[in-house]
Amino acid sequence: MDGYLIVKFLHVSAAVLWLGGGIALLVLAILADRARQREAFMAVIADVGKLAPVVFMPGSVVVLLSGLAMIWLGGIAWDAWLVIGIAGIAVTAGLGALVLGPSAERITRLVQEPGLESEALAEGRHLLRIAKLDYVLQFTIVFAMVVKPGWTDAAILAGMAALVGLAAAMVLAWPGRAEAA
Helix-strand-coil split of the chain, %, nearest 5: 85, 0, 15
Answer positive or negative: Cα dihedral of 140, 146, 150, 152.
negative
> What per-residue confidence (pLDDT) applies to 40?
94
pLDDT tens digits, residue range 92-134?
988 888 988 888 889 988 888 888 888 889 899 989 999 999 9
> What per-residue confidence (pLDDT) applies to 180?
43
pLDDT tens digits, residue range 66-87?
999 999 998 888 899 999 999 9
pTM for this model (two decimals): 0.84
> What per-residue confidence (pLDDT) applies to 35?
93
Cβ partners under 8 Å of residue 53, min gap 6: 101
> What per-residue confidence (pLDDT) applies to 177?
46
> What per-residue confidence (pLDDT) applies to 176?
52
Domain ranges within the chain, ordered by starting residue? 3-173
> What per-residue confidence (pLDDT) applies to 171?
76
Q: Which residue in 135, 134, 67, 138 sits closest to 98, CA to CA?
A: 134
Element (H, E) at 3: helix 3-34
> What per-residue confidence (pLDDT) applies to 64?
92
> What per-residue confidence (pLDDT) applies to 42?
92
pLDDT tens digits, residue range 41-70?
999 998 988 888 899 899 999 999 999 999
